[in-house]
Amino acid sequence: MTPTVHPAPAGGAISDAALFALNDLLGDRLSISEGMRAQYATGEAFPDAYPPDAVAFPLTTEEVSAIARICFRHRVPMIASGAGTSLEGHITAPSGGLAVNLSRMERILEVSAENMDVLVEAGVTREQLNHDLRHEGLFFPIDPGANASLGGMASTRASGTNAVRYGTMATNVLGLTVVQPDGTIIRTGGRARKSAAGYDLTRLYVGSEGTLGFITEVRLKLYGLPEAIGAATCAFDTVGGAIAAVQQIMLCTIPVARVEFLDAMQVKACNAWSHLGLPEQPHLFLEFHGTDAGVKEQAELAARIAAENGGQGFQWATAPEDRSRLWKARHQAYFASKALKPGAVVWSSDICVPLSALDEAVTAVHADIATAGLLAPIVGHVGDGNFHVLFCLDPNDPAERGRAEAVYGAMIDRALACGGTCTGEHGIGLNKRSYLAREHGDEAVATMRAVKQALDPLGLMNPQKIFL
Amino acid sequence: MTPTVHPAPAGGAISDAALFALNDLLGDRLSISEGMRAQYATGEAFPDAYPPDAVAFPLTTEEVSAIARICFRHRVPMIASGAGTSLEGHITAPSGGLAVNLSRMERILEVSAENMDVLVEAGVTREQLNHDLRHEGLFFPIDPGANASLGGMASTRASGTNAVRYGTMATNVLGLTVVQPDGTIIRTGGRARKSAAGYDLTRLYVGSEGTLGFITEVRLKLYGLPEAIGAATCAFDTVGGAIAAVQQIMLCTIPVARVEFLDAMQVKACNAWSHLGLPEQPHLFLEFHGTDAGVKEQAELAARIAAENGGQGFQWATAPEDRSRLWKARHQAYFASKALKPGAVVWSSDICVPLSALDEAVTAVHADIATAGLLAPIVGHVGDGNFHVLFCLDPNDPAERGRAEAVYGAMIDRALACGGTCTGEHGIGLNKRSYLAREHGDEAVATMRAVKQALDPLGLMNPQKIFL
């Protein structure tokens, strides 16, 4: 994709004095090269490019604080980034300013097996963390697919395939270190599993998309690796059958660890990309965690429910390599979809609805996709009612993009009409700002703005994001 | 207990004009009688009395909004209350003003079995909700012991015995209706199981103790009633053995639904009050939820772990009446403790520490209690590291109270030193304000104050609470 590059604000957003001060602080960890700036202009799958004026690579919380003090004094916008895998333009710099990439803050500071928690710097990625934990019998389950940084995952309130059982970043962050716009360092939360001591600042910063401060350290809950893991696939005649099965699995309180829906087109894409050899029908991919007996019992009950809803061929993948192949294929849904249409760019949408509205939501978007003549597989974390439409678009066909936008808008309208959300896990960023007030109402958005004004009075933190 | 009644602020906090306007709105649902005001002066187990100037009983969110508009115009402090079971003086009126009791807002507005959620008015109590849900195969697990209102439980971020498995109010509220100080009504959250759309206002209001606005409606997650429930008691030779067993149960990821610790004195109290007939040793009370086979498997593993840590006589209570008797006895720990010492008042403290520090925390407070010559049983939700010391105090012995305060202060100091919290579930209220900054640091508390100032600029919502 060739992004549309937007010019920086007239005169730039960063003065020479600010640059000199940052240069004194960071030396060669400050860059103003065009190539480097271009890397922080877009983010994953985002069509516009807004390059920052400079890019900084701090190594410590104290250094982030020093950067913030300089930027605060010189009124320089600050845009945090990590692995750069966010999807809604979060890391772009539409007001110019300083991109602050935290990915060199990659130390795992403290693992406590006894307390099943870990303190990491913001730039540690989830794969790095789980690799480091592999001998502890512990893991961090939240898995948005991409190998995102944990600071970024906290900032966007990420979730993914395991959220149906283990929750989201909102429920798995115990505490944060935050650098405020003026450089003040605060610590939120603590090591207790719960607290009723004052306002829940942790959850205010989680999901705030860098608009209130820099998240520099994250303390996370960990979980014991399950004794047994079982995965399975199941084909359904209809989308409705697959979704009815999910609803009943949830109602029966089967503690399913993952339950992913793939429509027939997504299965076709994954077959071609990952050689899965599955029938090209709607599918559920499931995973169960527990004891040997528990996993067997969960899976038998799920298989029975699936069969009662037209599910055929509940296929087991118990060997680690088979499970790994299955989930790798699931995680590569994006690339698999892209490969369906040579030269395409993929625009991944993200809504979340109450389970009772899920069948209708998917069915309606299928009809809209067909009417609009689009290629757009659907895949989702359906235990939570969350799904994605992966619009495969010709980058040189603005009319096609327009049709996709219409489908996307209608999909969000329907989600909001049934009490759902315009984003289950991607965040608002630049793309979904127009939906924020439609989802929450003007008064609630005014309340969010009042919080923003209170904590970032100069509007320096990730400007133009979340709010129109 | 005879509370110390503090005089209202000179001249009162409520003008005649405000009273007339409120009277026009509410008629006989506004009271200025001394008897009624006295009921809103203390709250459970709180030693000081600060009566409000008047008490209002609204019936709808719109009426709360109209009350707020009047109070905002006339600068009248507003103090929300529900069942009155909070323990840290939350509902008292140290600045005078209007007590707004929401307990007549007791409608269950919408139960969705398909989505496993419910929308209730703030005054609905947890027992009322579960009674109403009993034929739906669903329940709301959060159980702080007292039959609190769900609005109040949201306000104080309540948790209790089931939190180890089902989480706290912070993780089980999907959305809120909030009346802001000027009467503006906002809705937070939604019906989707997760969302990344904007700041998490829901979790900002949950635990804000009425200092930011009135919570008038709460949407809650519900859970399927487990197919099987098993409960058990187990005696230990030592406190350390019981706590080591809890740590290992958590590390083995046994999804225990409840794991409660009672020290020998608490067992003695419960034996006398509830005729449990247990050996007067440290005990764990456990509960397991799942399938028949799952409960059996969980319990066998827990029993093995208990035995390895000196646990004897893992006693089952599978019959519903036996389980009910056990948990009723547990819930009456407060009254049982009170009965240990005729005429005593019970002051219930509440700290929460990382599991690795729990044994030391309990052992140290046991030593302090002995040194101070106090009678103070200990009971706790130890799967979360949360425990209570029930100081049984002679109301006419200020020296004894002083010794208890010293023990309590040392206990919190130790909790904070290991990364724990000064309150796991009771909240800050008036009692724990001095610990807030010690726990979170001045900078984080300044951030909380900035949020308070932004959302309640006139300082009318539950003044003097949380912040010193």
pLDDT per residue as tens digits for the range A290-318: 999 999 999 999 999 999 999 988 888 87
In one letter, which amino acid is A190?
G
Say if the Cβ atoms of B423 and A115 lie within 8 Å: no
Q: What is the overall mean pLDDT for chain A? A: 94
Q: What is the pLDDT of residues A440-449, one digit of tens each?
A: 999 999 999 9
Task: Give the CATH number of domain B341-455; options: 2.40.40.20, 3.30.70.2740, 1.10.10.10, 1.20.1280.50.
Answer: 3.30.70.2740
> What architecture (CATH level 2) is domain B4-101?
2-Layer Sandwich (3.30)
Q: Nearest 5 degrees, angle CA A304-CA A306-CA A310?
A: 115
pTM score: 0.96
Which CATH class, in words, describes the domain spanning A228-417? Answer: alpha beta
pLDDT of residue B12: 67
> What architecture (CATH level 2) is domain A108-224?
2-Layer Sandwich (3.30)
Q: What is the pLDDT of residues B425-450, one digit of tens each?
A: 999 999 999 999 999 999 999 999 99
The side-by-side arrangement of strands in the sheet containing A185-189 is A108-112, A117-121, A214-221, A173-179, A185-189
Domain with CATH 3.30.43.10 in chain B: 4-101
Domain with CATH 3.30.70.2190 in chain B: 226-338
Q: What is the pLDDT of residues B156-176, one digit of tens each?
A: 999 999 999 999 999 999 999
Examine the pLDDT at B117 and tell me if it is beyond 70.
Answer: yes
Task: Give the CATH number of domain B226-338; options: 3.20.20.110, 3.50.50.60, 3.20.20.30, 3.30.70.2190.
Answer: 3.30.70.2190
Confidence of residue A7 (pLDDT cuts 50, 70, 90): low
Domain with CATH 3.30.465.10 in chain B: 108-224
Q: What is the overall mean pLDDT for chain B? A: 94
A184: nearest CA in chain B?
B443
Which residues of B fall within a CB distance of 8 Å from A192?
352-354, 384-386, 415, 419-421, 424
pLDDT of residue B6: 65
Confidence of residue B4 (pLDDT cuts 50, 70, 90): low
Three-state secondary-structure class, residue B173: strand
The residue among A206, A99, A110, A200 whose CA lies nearest residue A150 is: A206
pLDDT of residue A48: 80
Say if the Cβ atoms of A114 and B356 lie within 8 Å: yes
Which residues of B fall within a CB distance of 8 Å from A440?
186-188, 197-198, 201
The side-by-side arrangement of strands in the sheet containing A30-31 is A30-31, A54-56, A98-101, A78-81
Average of per-residue pLDDT across A51-56: 97
Q: What is the pLDDT of residues B265-299, one digit of tens each?
A: 999 999 999 999 999 999 999 999 999 999 999 99
The helices-and-strands tally (H runs, E runs) of chain B is 17, 21
Q: What is the pLDDT of residues B188-227, one digit of tens each?
A: 999 999 999 999 999 999 999 999 999 999 999 999 999 9
Average of per-residue pLDDT across B47-76: 96
Q: Do A192 and A225 meet the contact criterion of CB atoms below 8 Å apart?
A: no
Confidence of residue B45 (pLDDT cuts 50, 70, 90): low
The count of other CB atoms within 10 Å of the CB of residue A127 is: 14
pLDDT of residue A1: 43
Average of per-residue pLDDT across B40-48: 78
Q: What is the pLDDT of residues B364-412, one digit of tens each?
A: 999 999 999 999 999 999 999 999 999 999 999 999 999 999 999 999 9
Q: Do B92 and B49 meet the contact criterion of CB atoms below 8 Å apart?
A: yes
Considering only the beta carbons, identify the residue of A185, A191, A197 that sits closest to B436. A197
Which residues of A fall within a CB distance of 8 Å from B206?
200
The residue among A234, A215, A144 whose CA lies nearest residue A176 is: A215
Domain with CATH 3.30.70.2740 in chain B: 341-455
Query: Which among A6-20, B316-330, B337-351, B435-449 has the top mean pLDDT?
Result: B435-449
Instruction: Report d(CA B43, CA B38) in Å as an integer.
Output: 10
pLDDT of residue A108: 98
Considering only the beta carbons, identify the residue of B167, B247, B255 that sits closest to A114. B247
Say if the Cβ atoms of B187 and A441 lie within 8 Å: yes
Q: What is the pLDDT of residues A10-19, one digit of tens each?
A: 556 899 999 9
Examine the pLDDT at B8 and tell me if it is beyond 90.
Answer: no
Q: What is the pLDDT of residues A327-386, one digit of tens each?
A: 988 989 999 999 999 999 999 999 999 999 999 999 999 999 999 999 999 999 999 999
Q: What is the pLDDT of residues A391-438, one digit of tens each?
A: 999 999 999 999 999 999 999 999 999 999 999 999 999 999 999 999
Examine the pLDDT at B318 and tell me if it is beyond 80.
Answer: no
pLDDT of residue A395: 92
Confidence of residue A164 (pLDDT cuts 50, 70, 90): very high
Which residues of B fall within a CB distance of 8 Å from A224?
251-253
Task: Give the bridge partners for A290, in sequence order.
Answer: A228
Instruction: Report d(CA B434, CA B131) in Å as an integer.
Output: 39
Confidence of residue B1 (pLDDT cuts 50, 70, 90): very low
Handedness of CA A112, A113, A117, A121 (dihedral sign): positive
Examine the pLDDT at B11 and tell me if it is beyond 70.
Answer: no
Considering only the beta carbons, identify the residue of A198, A455, A466 that sits closest to B450. A455
DSSP A395: T
